[in-house]
């Protein structure tokens, strides 16, 4: 039996047993899950192995790449900049970045950009790791791109490109011209004491990093029964937006060089504890970090989507201000005010302001579920069942964990 470490608050014991079941019944290799409820940590568990061959144990401070779950952390960084009056969600991006107006992009608003409505899913030049390290050169390249559809008329998942645009928008609006990774480190990681990084510090030892069991063609075949048919068709079409939007097809998140650069859409490294803690700040209204009520109202407002079908995936989804939102086809949280971000392979994290919950699940065995990976979903459901069993008005002050 795989050893599980960490603790749960009284009344959350079933989350531990569910986490244990993931190793015994669902083939988990290494993983962690954390939850903060009403501002208190109630779940902090980890177990299994951070390496695939040597069997090194997953430890309390093991960091793992969470892929697109990084998008939510980047969106929270931008939300803080918004709270400070650095930009307006409904203003044109070109107001802050004049060169962006090229090739039909003059009227694209920040809201449309962060809602995956800008049509900027493609890059017409080869991107290398060296080029991604030159943010000025990358900004000039981004500014020259042409939308793949009329901005604001449809939405489609900007898998990696949204992070590049977030990066440059932050550099343009932040008074100190910081990157997203720098901003997050100085305004979130240090004040909140959370272990999450967009671009690894050079002195971070490799012994703290989990290795991913990445997606393979053989495992993809095994996953076909759970993959939406429309997505299968789009992946098989060489000229589909889905295939062409994979602008970094050879990106290897087990290669330290891919983790050292900043990819605000996809290479964040952290613990479940750090991610859940950050979302918990927002679940409590964001005041601890300086989020204003106006920004929170914007984040939790229903997404403005006339057509839920994602033009890239071919499946319904709902995005707003950089976050995935609940909808009829994607359910999480206790109301439509929840917001978060899933990552390729199965990681997921979100804030539920109505339940006052911040939740995160991370792992190193990547699977193929578009949403509701059974490992994550079972843990999320267990947390909500534990919350539902608590008497109304109960205080977690004496029942939380350290």
- The residues carrying an active-site annotation are 68
Cα(400)–Cα(402) distance, integer angstroms: 7
Picking from 66, 25, 31, the residue whose alpha carbon sits closest to that of residue 48 is 31
How far, in Å, are 37, 161, 266, 335, 346 from residue 351 at the CA level? 10, 24, 19, 11, 17
Angle between helices 161-173 and 135-143 (to 10 degrees): 110
Please compute Rg for the chain using Cα positions: 20
* DSSP strand pairing (319-320 vs 196-197): unpaired
Beta-carbon contacts of 100 under 8 Å, excluding residues fewer than 6 positions away, are 93, 94, 108, 142, 143
**Phi, psi for residue 199 in degrees, rounded to 5:** 95, 105
Q: Do the Cβ atoms of 103 and 309 come closer than 8 Å?
A: no
| Contact between 161 and 148 (Cβ < 8 Å) | no
How many angstroms separate the CA atoms of 43 and 9, rounded?
A: 6
Contact 348, 66 (CB under 8 A): no
In contact, 236 and 247? CB cutoff 8 Å:
no
The answer to whether the CB of 169 falls within 8 A of the CB of 265 is no
Picking from 174, 344, 332, the residue whose alpha carbon sits closest to that of residue 253 is: 344
Helices (H) and strands (E) in the chain, counts: 15, 11
Cβ neighbours for 297, distance < 8 A, ≥ 6 positions apart: none
Give the C-alpha separation, 294 to 102, whole Å.
Answer: 31
Distance CA 145, CA 244 (A): 14
């Amino acid at each position: 039996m795989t050893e599980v470490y960490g603790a749960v608050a009284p009344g959350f014991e079933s989350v531990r047993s569910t986490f244990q079941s993931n190793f015994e019944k669902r083939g988990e290799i290494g993983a962690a899950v954390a939850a903060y409820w009403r501002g208190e940590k109630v779940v902090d568990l980890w177990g299994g192995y951070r390496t695939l061959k040597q069997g090194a144990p997953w430890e309390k401070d093991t960091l793992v790449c969470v892929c697109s779950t990084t998008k939510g952390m980047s969106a929270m960084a931008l939300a803080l900049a918004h709270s400070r009056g650095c930009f307006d969600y409904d203003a044109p991006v070109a107001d802050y970045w004049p060169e962006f107006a090229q090739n039909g992009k003059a009227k694209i608003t920040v809201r449309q950009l962060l809602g995956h409505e800008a049509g900027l899913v493609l890059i017409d030049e080869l991107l290398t790791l060296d080029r991604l390290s030159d943010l000025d050169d990358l900004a000039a390249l981004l500014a020259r791109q042409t939308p793949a559809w009329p901005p604001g008329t449809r939405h489609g998942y900007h898998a990696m490109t949204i992070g590049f645009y977030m990066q440059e928008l932050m550099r343009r609006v932040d008074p100190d011209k910081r990157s997203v990774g720098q901003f997050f480190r100085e305004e979130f990681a240090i004040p909140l004491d959370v272990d999450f990084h967009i671009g690894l510090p050079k002195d971070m030892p490799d012994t703290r990093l989990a290795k991913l069991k990445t997606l393979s063609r053989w495992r993809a075949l095994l996953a076909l029964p759970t993959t939406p048919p429309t997505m299968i068709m789009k992946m098989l079409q060489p000229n589909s937006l889905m295939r062409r939007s994979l602008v970094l097809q050879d990106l290897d998140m087990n290669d330290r060089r891919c983790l050292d650069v900043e990819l605000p859409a996809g290479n964040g490294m952290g613990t479940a504890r750090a991610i859940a803690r950050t979302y918990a700040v927002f679940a409590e209204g964001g005041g601890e970090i300086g989020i204003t009520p106006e920004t929170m109202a914007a984040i939790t407002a229903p997404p403005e989507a006339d057509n839920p079908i994602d033009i890239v995936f071919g499946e319904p989804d709902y995005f707003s201000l950089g976050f995935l939102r609940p909808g009829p086809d994607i359910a999480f949280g206790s109301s439509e005010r929840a917001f978060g971000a899933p990552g390729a392979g199965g990681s997921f994290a979100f804030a539920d302001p109505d339940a006052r919950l911040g939740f995160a699940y991370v792992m190193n065995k990547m699977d193929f579920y578009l949403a509701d990976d059974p490992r994550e979903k079972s843990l999320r459901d267990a947390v909500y069942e534990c919350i539902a069993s608590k008497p109304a008005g109960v205080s977690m002050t004496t029942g939380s964990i350290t």
